[in-house]
Amino acid sequence: MNDKFVIGLDYGSDSVRAVIVNTSNGEVKGSHVFWYPRWKKGKYCDPVSNQFRQHPLDHLEGLEETIREVIKESGVPSGQIKGICVDTTGSSPMAVDKQGKPLALSPEFAENPNAMMVLWKDHTAIKEADEINELARTWGGEDYTKYEGGIYSSEWFWAKILHVIREDEAVAEAAYSWMEHCDVITAELIGSDDPLEVKRSRCAAGHKALWHESWDGLPSKEFLSKLDPRLADLRDRLYTNTFTSDLPAGNLSGEWARKLGLSTDTVVAVGTFDAHAGAVGGEVTENTLVKVMGTSTCDIMVASHEAIGDNLVKGICGQVDGSVIPGTVGLEAGQSGFGDVLAWFKNLVVKPTAELIRASNELDDAKKEALINEIDRQLLIKLSEEAIQIPLSDTAPVALDWVNGRRTPDANQALKGAVMGLNMGTDAARVFKALVESICFGSKKIVDRFREEGVAIDAVIGMGGVAKKSKLVMQTMADVLNMPIKIATSDQAPALGAAMYASVAAGIHPSTEAAIAAMTNGFDKVYEPIPENVAVYKELYAKYAEFGAFVEGKKTAALADQ
Ligand SMILES: Nc1ncnc2c1ncn2[C@@H]1O[C@H](COP(=O)(O)OP(=O)(O)O)[C@@H](O)[C@H]1O
Ligand SMILES: O=C(CO)[C@H](O)[C@H](O)COP(=O)(O)O
């Protein structure tokens, strides 16, 4: 057998997943998940202040373990493994030194959260994002936000950097450059020692760093200096050109070839973001909305240059040439909180329960931890089983899905979640059901915005942890959108998409479209809307919209006296 194989790596928010894939038929010969140990302990985070940082050691340990494990599991000879591609969350930037190494890998900054990866969901930079939006609208020059939906988010590159350099003089001084997570890992694999030489991700730059070829790359130094002179200086130590992920970033370094038991002939593709790789793994085509549903949700579409023309789609996460399928325009929207909204509720119940179990004298410590882990594992399933039994006609509460702010439509990370309509009969299952409905209503707001902006949506594909794990969420989504939802077979669609990019970068397939056709894993389920549910959710959606307008301050008479 002389089949050629590639490896796709998908760095999610809680774990990194790898798959090794046969490029001739998409057969997944091995997969492995590595949960970030420091992140799992909540280190370097402060949810109350919306601070979420990750230590790069979590990522490097996961890099080595996942690749070694999938090679071992597959039994594929190293000589047949031709390429690797890395997708990560974003915008998740890190301050790096002159060699492109994250500052937190140096002893001086090893415990400093500002020297670590500022995870996409970290919203400490709301003020900075507001400044960028205000300046973009008023400075008299180019509106650099126009290809990113017209509203810059605290989740993104420049806002995060500006916040950190204001907070931490030492990091500001020591940071030679800043790199997105996907570029850091790619640079590590190819043994780069110069961040200015690394082929930076088009996807990351276009969707999160205000990059566009029409203004020669990044925003001008004049614009940046109005925010902070140090940003203007930094521009010289970032990048001008960006690259799509069907292209090679370099070859595996000798160090990593030895660590992984691979050849230095192994090509490493330019990095990308998880959702966009997921769309490729899920066979994205024009007029199809791909929903990558994990802790958050990303909604990805592709449009031909002819179809999109000069249309600037308002309030989404941007439209970028080549961010998904090179030669087409990638469109991104999404929700800052999706599975996380449900995890938040789960933790609300589990945390005090766990503390009581630990404080009790009934069980030994090992049995206590086993019981707590079982409750943590089972609670979402249990709540889902109970929620499915609640008749839709039951006046369940109405919730807003903004526990992590609102990403789209119209980013507003200052927003918070809310629930109304509680009474003495409101049990955990009813609140959970309201939260499930809220994240589906939030998805409908995005579909409505795309259509209002002239982007046709004829089909919906679901993938990611929630799509594979929750029948309740997916049926509710089909009912709320009143559209069938196809579920991608692969439970690692982003990693599969990264593998597809790797096969093109390694010269095995001639294009991303050809790689999709050859390596797709297809779909294994379709959720069809249930007409009677569609009617009920139409009314509930109107309540959700009114409640949202009220909470966001656009009070309406209908709600004001409730
Ligand atoms: N049974 C379930 N029902 C609903 N949501 C679930 C269930 N199991 C896990 N989740 C959610 O899935 C999300 C993790 O999604 P996943 O795609 O695995 O991770 P990531 O977002 O890091 O890529 C978590 O937010 C978790 O709350
Ligand atoms: O916005 C993104 C991509 O553009 C983030 O990577 C995405 O939201 C992260 O989500 P998850 O934790 O579910 O992988």
Q: Does the model's ipTM exceed the 0.90 cut? A: yes
> Confidence class of residue 562 from pLDDT cuts 50, 70 and 90?
very low
- What is the DSSP track for 304-334? -HHHHTT---TTSS-EEETSSSTTSEEEEEE
Q: What local confidence, expressed as pLDDT, does residue 26 receive?
A: 97
Task: Name the token pair of 304.
Answer: 């031909």
Q: Is the CB of 415 under 6 A from ligand 1?
A: no
User: Is the pLDDT at 557 greater than 90, yes or no?
Assistant: no
At residue 376, does pLDDT exceed 50? yes
How many angstroms separate the Cα of 7 from the Cα of each of 81, 204, 344?
8, 21, 33
Number of the ligand closest to the Cα of 335? 2
Instruction: State the pLDDT at residue 556.
Output: 52
User: Which atom of ligand 1 lies closest to the CA of 17?
Assistant: 23
Residue minimizing CA distance to atom 3 of ligand 2: 90
- The pLDDT-based confidence of 561 (bands split at 50, 70, 90) is very low
Q: Are the C-beta atoms of residues 164 and 100 closer than 8 Å to each other?
A: no
Q: Which ligand is nearest to the CA of 298?
A: 2
Best of 89, 153, 183 for a ligand 2 pocket test (most atoms within 8 Å of beta carbon): 89
CB 295 less than 6 A from any atom of ligand 2 = yes
Q: Can you give the pLDDT at residue 110? A: 98
Q: For residue range 380-405, what is the model confidence (pLDDT) as tens digits?
A: 999 999 999 999 888 679 999 999 99
Does residue 547 register a pLDDT over 60? yes
Q: Does ligand 1 come within 6 angstroms of the Cβ of 548?
A: no
| Angle formed by the axes of helices 531-551 and 428-452, nearest 10° | 90
Instruction: For residue 172, give both structure tokens.
Output: 């500001």
Residue nearest (by alpha carbon) to ligand 2 atom 1: 90
Cα–ligand 1 centroid distance for 472 (angstroms)? 13
Residue 555 has pLDDT above 80, yes or no: no
Residue 340 Cβ < 6 Å to ligand 1: yes
| pLDDT per position as a tens digit, 190-244 | 999 999 999 999 999 999 999 999 999 999 999 999 999 999 999 999 999 999 9
Q: Output the pLDDT for position 245.
A: 98
The partner residues of 288 in beta bridges, in order of sequence, read: 459
464 phi, psi to nearest 5 deg: 95, 175
Nearest CA to ligand 1 atom 6: 466
| pLDDT at residue 439 is higher than 90 | yes
pLDDT over 70 percentage in the chain: 98
Residue 89 CB–ligand 2 contact under 6 Å: yes
* Per-chain mean pLDDT for the chain: 95
Average pLDDT over residues 150-166: 96
Ligand 2 binding pocket includes 150 (Cβ within 6 Å): no
Global confidence as pTM: 0.92
Task: Give the integer Cα–Cα distance in Å for 228 and 558.
Answer: 44
The DSSP result for 64-133, as a single string, is HHHHHHHHHHHT--GGGEEEEEEEE-SS-EEEE-TTS-BGGGSGGGTT-GGGSEE-TT--TTHHHHHHHH
Ligand 1 atom having least distance to the Cα of 436: 4
**What separation in Å is there between the alpha carbon of 87 and the centre of ligand 1?**
18
Residue 378 contacts by C-beta under 8 Å, 6 or more apart in sequence? none
15 Cβ closer than 6 Å to some ligand 2 atom: no
Closest CA to 7 of 157, 210, 189: 189
User: Quick check: CB of 120 below 6 Å from ligand 2?
Assistant: yes
User: How many other C-beta atoms lie within 10 A of the C-beta of residue 78?
Assistant: 14
Structure tokens, 17: 């997943």
Q: Is the CB of 334 under 6 A from ligand 2?
A: yes
Q: Is the CB of 339 under 6 A from ligand 1?
A: yes
pLDDT value, residue 396: 72
Residue appearing with tokens 């990113």: 148
CA-based nearest residue to 154, from 203, 120, 183, 117: 120
Task: Please give the backbone phi and psi of residue 261, each rounded to the nearest 5 degrees, phi first.
Answer: 70, 35
